[in-house]
């Protein structure tokens, strides 16, 4: 098994790269998706969040009110640490289950937005960074996601910078160009990953 950590700044195009890798045969483990699943209604994760933050973080339907919870934790590092202390172990355990189910001959790609920030690079056989210039990131966040420029800049500033991400990269995909320039690069990276998997045996 080859364990790949995939990361990139917001707006760099990581989701598209992970979609392409999965279409070639990679086993994709998406940390953001799992983080949503572990706090769905009826889960121990949601019960723990409500115990820590109160019933106010629930919608009338009983689901987690993400914007409300976000407004509480992003203004208070201690509250954010409490939330991360609940969610991160659940995400880690679920990721480990999915990885174990993938089987020995698999390329397992873990899509981890905060890989650089949380010092997780050593956990993987190699780290793949999707890179785009800050100008490209800003343009995509405003044009494609409808963010206000100030909000987009704040979200970018809350993440590791480009140099910090590139410092942990074993492989880099340059996604400053159009979508059609991305696929050949991802295909080449996939061939490299398959070759490295072959070298393990």
Domains and their CATH numbers in the chain: 1-26+106-201 (3.40.50.300), 39-104 (3.40.50.300)
Residue 34: what pLDDT? 96
Specify the range with the lowest mean pLDDT, choosing from 49-53, 71-75, 113-117, 136-140.
Answer: 71-75
User: Which alpha helices (DSSP H) does 59-161 contain, by range?
Assistant: 66-73, 77-102, 134-143, 149-157
- With a cut of 70, say whether residue 201 has pLDDT above it: no
pLDDT digits (tens, 9 = 90+) for 24-78: 999 999 988 999 999 999 999 999 999 999 999 999 999 999 989 988 887 788 9
Q: 85-88 contacts: CB < 8 A, separation 24 or more? A: 86/45, 86/48, 86/49, 86/52, 87/35, 87/38, 87/39, 87/45, 87/49
Tell me the per-residue pLDDT of 150-180, one tens digit each, with 9 for 90 and over.
Answer: 988 988 888 899 999 999 999 999 999 888 9
Write down the pTM of the prediction.
0.85
Q: Which has more confidence, 147 or 108?
A: 108
Give residue for tokens 């890179």: 131
Q: Is the pLDDT of residue 119 over 70?
A: yes
Supply the pLDDT for residue 24: 96
First-residue to last-residue Cα distance in the chain: 9
Phi-psi region of 24 (alpha: psi -120 to 50; beta: other; left: phi over 0): alpha
Least confident piece of the model among 17-21, 66-70, 133-137: 66-70
The more confidently predicted of residues 74 and 5 is: 5
CA–CA dist 52, 133 (Å, integer): 39
């Amino acid at each position: 098994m080859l364990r790949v950590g995939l990361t990139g700044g917001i707006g760099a195009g990581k989701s598209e790269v992970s979609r392409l890798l999965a279409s070639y045969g990679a086993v994709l483990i998406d940390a953001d998706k799992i983080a949503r699943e572990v706090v769905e209604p009826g889960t121990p994760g949601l019960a723990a969040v409500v115990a820590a933050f109160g019933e106010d973080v629930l919608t009338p339907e009983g689901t987690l009110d993400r914007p409300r919870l976000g407004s509480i934790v992003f203004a208070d590092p201690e509250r954010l640490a409490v939330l991360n202390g609940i969610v991160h172990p659940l995400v880690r355990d679920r990721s480990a289950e999915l990885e174990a189910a993938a089987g020995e001959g698999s390329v397992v790609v873990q899509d981890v937005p905060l890989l650089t920030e949380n010092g997780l690079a050593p956990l993987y056989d190699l780290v793949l960074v999707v890179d785009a210039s800050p100008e490209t990131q800003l343009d995509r966040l405003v044009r494609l996601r409808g963010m206000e420029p100030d909000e987009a800049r704040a979200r970018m500033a809350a993440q590791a910078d480009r140099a910090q991400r590139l410092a942990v990269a074993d492989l880099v995909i340059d996604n400053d160009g159009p979508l059609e320039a991305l696929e050949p690069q991802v295909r080449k990276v996939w061939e490299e990953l398959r070759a490295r998997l072959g070298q393990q045996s």
